[in-house]
Structure formats: C-alpha cells, structure tokens
Amino acid sequence: MALPTLPPRVAQPQRPPLPTATTSATLPDAARDLVLTAPMLLFAHGILVWLDDLGQHGRSGVIWFLAQAALIASAFSFVGLAAGLRHVTATTAPRGRRGAAAGALLAAIVGTGLTTWVALVRGVGGGAATAGAPQWLLAGGPVLLVTALVALIALAVPTLRLPRRSLALAATGAALLATPFDLIPLAGLVILLALEPLLGSGPAPGDVDR
C-alpha cells in the first residue's frame, strides 16, 4: 500500500530588511548634479562681488547684478541638494532622523527665501538699498541655508557613508559665510570639498570615521 504524500511546502516570501542607521544609500541623480553647481555658483558670486569692489562700481551695475543672480541660483541649487539629502534620510533612516531631516529642509527653504529676497533688493536697488541693514540680515539667509545643509549631511553620514571631514568642512563653510569679511569665494571652495564625496558612492565602511 502506498504511503500518503504530504503536499509540497510553499516558500513564504521573504520580507525586505527594515532600514537601519547603517543602511547604505546613494544620492538621487538630480541632487548629485547640484553637488558641483551649488558651491561653484556661490564661489562665482563671491568673485563677482570682489570684482565689483575692485572696480569701485559702488556695488551697482552689471557685475553687481550678476553677483546677486549667481547668489540666487546658488541658493536654489543648495535647497535642491538639501531636498536630495532629506530624501536619502527619509527612505533609509529611523523615524527620529526623518523628522530632524524634515526640519532641516524647512530651514533650508526659509534660508533660500531670505537669500532670494535680500539678493533681489540689492540687485535692483544696488548695495545702497541695504546699506544700513545689520550683518545678520544680509548673511542670515546663506548661513541658515548652509547650516541646514550641515545638519542634513550629519544625518546622512551613516547612510551615504560620508567621511566625517565632510561635516567639519561644511560647518567651516557656514562659519566663513557668517563673517563680515567677504570670504564667500573661500566658503564656496570649502563647501565644495565637503560635498565632493557625494559625487561617488562614498568611501568604504572602514573609512567613514576618517
């Protein structure tokens, strides 16, 4: 007599692992395209301001207008990059980091709005339009924007496997923007060095803390 056979076991579909703080991720292509664009536009803005001062144009005219246009373009590029970093954190990080990333992105948007408003006023009315304005108002937008970017980099360090020096360099760039000494070109270059690892897939896990 033939023995009864058991029905074949159906393999249960495996659930994908939940994201953790060490999950590796990559920056979206649209945001990666802004890694070079944003700091180089900031660098161009600073150089144009220097050229305007050297030419003694009184912070008015074509060069000054182009400087403000470069600043606005840089601000929008930075906020686009910030949105990309927030996307990485939102899709891979724990819930607490997602909320912090959303707050940092909101700060970046506010910084972009303030930067654009000041640049438009100064671009149309010249430097004299904001001659009596405090330094915190003139530099507040870019500083807030880059500081928000620093926070997003800090949140994305584990997932993008960024070197710790990126965070330090980005913070240095924000500090340079806050000074009243027109060190904007230097700040742009420092921020570019901070963001450069985002162009690739990031260092090996053993290099993250270097």
Identify the DSSP state of 135: H
pLDDT value of residue 26: 82
Amino acid identity for residue 124 in this structure:
V
pLDDT value of residue 100: 94
In Å, how far are 87, 90, 177 from 98, measured between CA atoms? 9, 5, 27
Rounded (5°) CA angle 88-195-155: 40
Per-residue pLDDT of the chain (210 residues; tens, 9 = 90+): 555 555 566 555 565 554 444 445 688 999 999 999 999 999 999 999 999 989 877 788 899 999 999 999 999 999 999 999 999 998 887 888 889 999 999 999 999 999 999 999 988 888 778 877 887 888 899 999 999 999 999 998 888 888 889 999 999 999 999 988 889 999 999 999 999 999 874 444 444 444
